[in-house]
Chain A
Amino acid sequence: MEMDLTQAVQQNLLNTDRCLVCVQVAELSTWAKTSRILALVHHQGEYGLFIFAIDKSPVATASDLSLKAVVGIDAAVVCDVSSPLGIVEADLEFKIVKHDCTYTFEMSIGQECNTFVAEFYRVLQSCHEQYGDGTLDFSWVKPYGGEEIRGSSQAQGNQPHSHVSLSKATGNSASTFYTFEDNFQTSVPDASLKKSSALPAMASGGNLRQKLEREVTPLLRHSSLDMMGSRDGIIKRVMETREDEYTDIQTFRVFTGTWNVNGQPASVALQAWLAGDDEPPDMYAVGFQELDLSKEAFLFNDSPREDEWLQAVTNALHRGATYTLVRTIRLVGMMLVTYVAEPLRERVIEVAAETVGTGIMGKMGNKGGVAVRFLLHNTSLCVVNAHLAAHTDDCERRNQDHADICERLRFARFDPPLPIWQHDVVLWIGDLNYRLDQLAYDQVMLLMEKGAFAKLLEYDQLYTQKKKGRAFKTYEEGPITFRPTYKFDPGSDTYDTSEKCRVPAWCDRVLWKGQHVKQLTYRSHPTLMISDHKPVSALFDVGVKVVDVVKFKRVYEELMKQLDKLENEYLPQVTLDTMEIDFDRVAFVEPAAQYLIVANTGQVPVEFEFIRKPNDAGYCKPWLSISPYKDYIMPGEKRDVKLEVYVKAAMAARLNAGDDRIDDILVLHLHGGKDIFVTVGGRYVPSCFGASLQALCSMPTPLREVPVAQLVDLGSPETPAAAAAADAPYDIPKEIWSMLNHLYEFGVQEGSLFQQPGLPSEILQIRDVLDTGIADSLPGSVHSVAEALLMFLEALPDPVVPYSHYQQCIDRSRDVTACEQLVAAFPPCHSNVFRYLMAFLRTVLYFVDRNKSDVMESLALMFGSILLRAPPGVEPTLPPRMLDNCKATFVTNFITE
């Protein structure tokens, strides 16, 4: 036998919880339609929407259901019901949105569906009324396998969200809904937390931070805007939450009045109703019902009565003050007029008015409500003037009208549209039409005569419905000490004497909601007799939040400071293990590396880059390379940056001469942040590599034994020391001699000389022997010596073919005789070296047995490019290929037999 669904659900619940209503639906996701049971569950004043999966259909026992998710119902839940227009018998779409998570269900229209949706709305409404826009923590859901985490205040802390698992059905941010999948392992960090890169920082300590976290973080989540972009928004929100700190409560007198005028023209003076007190009120809210019963008013919402009554009210306002009309609003017969006393005029802003019809088809305005809202100083105030369904038996209908107005009346100029309950103070006036139950005309008259209003009130429908929580649950009403205001024979003070002989009732009421509201009087005004109702008034003292400019400024400035601090903390920050990199000894072609550790010690990801200083060609000197020179580092992470020095032939001369130094300041730039200077230093060890031929010829000792000062002098040809060197002790530098000698002895027969690279380590040893003279013979293979020779020649500050003769040598490279003459004209050491090299190359070629011409060609090209180098800064006159050919031709002249 099929089991009652509610029973099956109930058996899945704890004893403390009760299934109010449930319905079978289909959950719609992108891919599928899945059968579900929706159950509205009540737990000690709180509600949850439980979503069950159906494991076995039809549902026969409790175990055929398994709980998939729970949506805690609070103000964050938005519900939308729609049906495809014009299609009868169509399915209803029921959409639940909480934060950024959406569930969509399909329900087939019917009694069950109606009951469920109606009940759901009722619950939602009462949650709004009861808890405002505060959110609940739904800890009672915990025993079902976890906790509703979103929307609760604890979500702002650093609690682990380990119990949350992602819903497959929605694939959305999981934290909104609490869903139970097969297991609970998946930990999903708050999705909105991830959205803002600025946020991770807030996890760490600090008192101020925690405070800000409390204040700012939820707002950031809410607005899901990024930190910097929404600073204004954040300021506004935080200021709102801290309102108490800078506002004082100041009391203002508010007059409210309501009168069902039964379609009568404004033919009487209203002072008795509106201006009966000694003191003038600071604000008026006057509501009318049945202002106009004409067909025109009903169908076209057009009424001459509007102006008439407005005028009547304006004329009757208290003489003790000057009033300004704030706003009037009318829907058919319902009209609401609001005024403030002149000095308050400047303090009324964000005025809005809205109407809701609840008459026939839920639309027509013969019944419903009109409302005006505004900010009075810093307190939001909403006045609702309603005319609810008539007739004694239609109590339920009146409740429904009230619920509809609460739900549907939203001030559309706000985004999102602002509902009634989101106001500090709500004043609800009108012909609410609630009657006296169970009592006959005579009984009422009797009790009334006795003045037993309290007794009478026990039969008042509004009183009883309110008590049951079926309408106006969260509203207050003052004690009624006046006689029922309905129904009178028009023009008299006599209760209905007509055939119908209606039982008198307190149709016309004033209720309120909000803090700091004190009712002073609650009266009816029987002297006004044109209608079958008597006007009612209630006078209030309303405590309004008034900004204290000095306090406001202090709070505001404090907040600015906090935000500045936060912003400063969010600037990229790194820490370096050192600001100075010392390479100590740096030598020719000897690579050396040092590491710089860049640690992201800030709150945000850092993009760093070594940037170029003005006047510099690159971000570092040519002898240095940095890797990576730009990169990203996540907070808490580090990057090792490798700095490598390598002095190549082209840089050696300047370093040798002291024109350049191993010395640089690097600028490490953090994008969107600061720059850090990193000093790089080292001591260059001078070498014969990079020394001039002239200097080397005049040095009898190895280079290392020459004092540095003299070395520098010898480097530049203009100095006296260099001039003295003109008559040098050697024809060619001993270093060249040493290398060539070695090659003559061990290499020329090799045949493959200059065709194979040497070993870097051997080249360094050769360099050291040449610089120090510590050994008589050179170490390493002939190929290393050969490459060292090429490096040596390349490093010469003035090439073997001196810069001064370069152009002529190129120009006349095809003319052998001219070339010989040019060489003869070189400074002696240059021509000596040149001739010596050429003789050597001829010997090398002599031993080449195969492809002699190829080898010659490659030697000529190689030596041509090294021996003939264009002076720095000189634009080449020929294309590179032709230039290379000229150089090779020049060399060829001297190496062909």
Chain B
Amino acid sequence: MAKKTYDLLFKLLLIGDSGVGKTCILFRFSDDAFNTTFISTIGIDFKIKTIELHGKKIKLQIWDTAGQERFHTITTSYYRGAMGIMLVYDITSPKTFDNIAKWLRNIDEHANEDVEKMILGNKCDMEEKRMVSKERGEAIAREHGIRFFETSAKNNINIERSFMELAEAILNKTPSRDTSTNHTNVHVSQSSGHSSKCC
């Protein structure tokens, strides 16, 4: 009998103002690459990435949304069903930080109630242009009881970590299913081409 490919599927969503680096964050996480040219996302795109957490194979389906204002009414309709949302601002742009409150309201209105949230202050590699202090970011996150990271898609800072933490937070909430499945087995059968009939 063919086993399923993964144990769990988590749907994550990236939101935030246009230009804060959502697409770059996803690209860094999925392809481990970075692009300086800005091609604003006009729509909703997703990528998949398989991770392993506590011996469980988890498939992340990560949705990247258009940040442009004119699409907001449409993009909010994609919030439902997301298990985790990453709200991104740009530490060099106070406006994008100020909009956090608005984005949080959007989440409250449109996302599932138990959605796991995380705030990311992106572009932390640009220290010389910083306009939003880390403390302010931490403060707003604390205020709303949300996890917070400063990230850089460019220099690959905290990208993997933030996704893993978000996935972990979701996993912790997920009622553990049958424990009979054993995941720690690294032993790979060698007898090429012959799967065991029994078991």
Residues of A within 8 A of B (CB): 133, 222, 225, 228-233, 236-237, 239-241, 243, 349-350, 375, 377-380, 412-416, 418, 422-424, 545, 547, 549, 552-553, 557, 560, 563-565, 567-568, 571, 579, 613-615, 665, 667-668, 673-677, 679
A-facing mask of B52-89, CB < 8 A → 1, else 0? Answer: 10000000000000100011011001000000000000
Q: For B48, list chain A residues within 8 Å (CB).
A: 564, 567-568
Q: Which residue of A lies closest to B74 (CB)?
A: A613
Q: For B193, list chain A residues within 8 Å (CB).
A: 133, 222, 237, 416, 422
Q: Are B2 and A230 in contact (CB under 8 A)?
A: yes
Q: For B192, list chain A residues within 8 Å (CB).
A: 133, 237, 240-241, 422
Q: Are B74 and A665 in contact (CB under 8 A)?
A: yes
Q: How far is the CB of A192 from chain B (nearest CB, A)?
A: 15
Q: In whole angstroms, how far apart are the Cα atoms of A239 and B77 in the complex? A: 41
B37 at the binding interface (Cβ < 8 Å) = no
Q: For A414, list chain B residues within 8 Å (CB).
A: 191, 194-197
Q: Are B191 and A350 in contact (CB under 8 A)?
A: yes
Q: Are A232 and B3 in contact (CB under 8 A)?
A: yes
Q: In whole angstroms, how far apart are the Cα atoms of A115 and B2 in the complex? A: 43
B93 at the binding interface (Cβ < 8 Å) = no
Q: In whole angstroms, how far apart are the Cα atoms of A237 and B190 in the complex? A: 9
> Given A415-B197, A667-B74, do A547 and B188 touch, yes or no (CB 8 Å)?
yes
Q: In whole angstroms, how far apart are the Cα atoms of A379 and B192 in the complex? A: 11
The 7 closest A-B pairs by CB, nearest first: A676-B43, A414-B194, A674-B45, A231-B5, A675-B44, A614-B77, A415-B197
Q: In whole angstroms, how far apart are the Cα atoms of A677 and B31 in the complex? A: 24
From A377, A412, A613, A676, B42 is in contact (CB under 8 Å) with: A676
Q: Are B191 and A375 in contact (CB under 8 A)?
A: yes
Q: In whole angstroms, how far apart are the Cα atoms of A380 and B188 in the complex? A: 11
Q: Are B190 and A243 in contact (CB under 8 A)?
A: yes
Q: Which residue of A lies closest to B77 (CB)?
A: A614
> Given A228-B5, A677-B74, do A560 and B50 touch, yes or no (CB 8 Å)?
yes
Q: In whole angstroms, how far apart are the Cα atoms of A436 and B30 in the complex? A: 69
Q: In whole angstroms, how far apart are the Cα atoms of A366 and B4 in the complex? A: 46
> Given A233-B2, A677-B74, do A547 and B187 touch, yes or no (CB 8 Å)?
yes
Q: For A568, list chain B residues within 8 Å (CB).
A: 30, 47-48
Q: In whole angstroms, how far apart are the Cα atoms of A122 and B31 in the complex? A: 52
B34 at the binding interface (Cβ < 8 Å) = no
Q: How far is the CB of B153 from chain A (nearest CB, A)?
A: 17
A-B contacts, 13 listed (Cβ < 8 Å): A232-B2, A237-B193, A240-B190, A349-B187, A412-B197, A414-B197, A415-B194, A418-B191, A557-B52, A571-B46, A571-B47, A614-B77, A665-B74
How many positions in chain B have a CB within 8 Å of any CB in the partner chain? 35
Q: For A545, list chain B residues within 8 Å (CB).
A: 190
Interface centre among B48, B70, B193 (most CB of A within 10 A): B193
Q: How far is the CB of A107 from chain B (nearest CB, A)?
A: 31
Q: Are A564 and B49 in contact (CB under 8 A)?
A: yes
Q: Which residue of A lies closest to B194 (CB)?
A: A414
Q: In whole angstroms, how far apart are the Cα atoms of A674 and B48 in the complex? A: 12
Q: In whole angstroms, how far apart are the Cα atoms of A868 and B195 in the complex? A: 78
Q: Which residue of B lies closest to A663 (CB)?
A: B70
> Given A133-B192, A231-B5, A414-B195, do A665 and B70 touch, yes or no (CB 8 Å)?
yes
Q: Are B186 and A549 in contact (CB under 8 A)?
A: yes
Q: For A552, list chain B residues within 8 Å (CB).
A: 186, 188
Q: For B45, list chain A residues within 8 Å (CB).
A: 674-675
Q: Are A677 and B71 in contact (CB under 8 A)?
A: yes
Q: For B176, list chain A residues within 8 Å (CB).
A: none
Q: In whole angstroms, how far apart are the Cα atoms of A677 and B30 in the complex? A: 23
Q: Are B186 and A243 in contact (CB under 8 A)?
A: no
Q: In whole angstroms, how far apart are the Cα atoms of A631 and B108 in the complex? A: 36
Known: A350-B189, A667-B74. 16 other contacts (CB 8 A): A232-B5, A233-B195, A350-B196, A375-B189, A378-B190, A413-B196, A414-B194, A424-B190, A545-B190, A557-B52, A560-B52, A571-B46, A613-B77, A665-B74, A674-B44, A676-B43
Q: Are B191 and A674 in contact (CB under 8 A)?
A: no
Q: In whole angstroms, how far apart are the Cα atoms of A240 and B189 in the complex? A: 7
Q: Are A378 and B187 in contact (CB under 8 A)?
A: yes
Q: For A228, list chain B residues within 8 Å (CB).
A: 5
From B4, B73, B190, B196, A380 is in contact (CB under 8 Å) with: B190
Q: For A679, list chain B residues within 8 Å (CB).
A: 70
Q: In whole angstroms, how far apart are the Cα atoms of A233 and B71 in the complex? A: 42
Q: For A673, list chain B residues within 8 Å (CB).
A: 46
Q: For B188, list chain A residues within 8 Å (CB).
A: 236, 239-240, 243, 378, 547, 552
A-facing mask of B172-199, CB < 8 A → 1, else 0? Answer: 0000000000000011111111111110
Q: Are B2 and A416 in contact (CB under 8 A)?
A: no
From B4, B31, B194, A565 is in contact (CB under 8 Å) with: B31
Q: Are A564 and B191 in contact (CB under 8 A)?
A: no
From B2, B50, B195, B197, A564 is in contact (CB under 8 Å) with: B50
Q: How far is the CB of A169 from chain B (nearest CB, A)?
A: 28
Q: Are B66 and A677 in contact (CB under 8 A)?
A: yes
Q: Are B190 and A564 in contact (CB under 8 A)?
A: no
Q: For A415, list chain B residues within 8 Å (CB).
A: 194-197
Q: For A675, list chain B residues within 8 Å (CB).
A: 43-45
Q: How far is the CB of B192 from chain A (nearest CB, A)?
A: 5
Q: How far is the CB of A333 from chain B (nearest CB, A)?
A: 29
Q: In whole angstroms, how far apart are the Cα atoms of A679 and B196 in the complex? A: 55
Q: Are A416 and B194 in contact (CB under 8 A)?
A: yes
Q: How far is the CB of B77 from chain A (nearest CB, A)?
A: 4
Q: In whole angstroms, how far apart are the Cα atoms of A545 and B186 in the complex? A: 13
Q: Are B50 and A674 in contact (CB under 8 A)?
A: no
Q: In whole angstroms, how far apart are the Cα atoms of A418 and B191 in the complex? A: 8
Q: For A668, list chain B residues within 8 Å (CB).
A: 43
Q: In whole angstroms, how far apart are the Cα atoms of A484 and B197 in the complex? A: 43
Q: Are B43 and A674 in contact (CB under 8 A)?
A: yes
Q: How far is the CB of A479 from chain B (nearest CB, A)?
A: 31
Q: In whole angstroms, how far apart are the Cα atoms of A350 and B188 in the complex? A: 11
Q: For A571, list chain B residues within 8 Å (CB).
A: 46-47
Q: In whole angstroms, how far apart are the Cα atoms of A817 and B9 in the complex? A: 74
Q: How far is the CB of A235 from chain B (nearest CB, A)?
A: 9
Q: Are B194 and A677 in contact (CB under 8 A)?
A: no
Q: Which residue of A lies closest to B32 (CB)?
A: A561
Q: For B77, list chain A residues within 8 Å (CB).
A: 613-614
Q: How far is the CB of A675 from chain B (nearest CB, A)?
A: 4
Q: In whole angstroms, how far apart are the Cα atoms of A261 and B3 in the complex? A: 48
Q: Are B30 and A564 in contact (CB under 8 A)?
A: yes
Q: For A560, list chain B residues within 8 Å (CB).
A: 50, 52
Q: For B2, list chain A residues within 8 Å (CB).
A: 225, 229-230, 232-233
Q: In whole angstroms, how far apart are the Cα atoms of A378 and B189 in the complex? A: 7
Q: In whole angstroms, how far apart are the Cα atoms of A579 and B43 in the complex? A: 10
Interface centre among B73, B77, B188 (most CB of A within 10 A): B188
Q: In whole angstroms, how far apart are the Cα atoms of A234 and B29 in the complex? A: 24
Q: In whole angstroms, how far apart are the Cα atoms of A222 and B193 in the complex? A: 9
Q: For B3, list chain A residues within 8 Å (CB).
A: 232
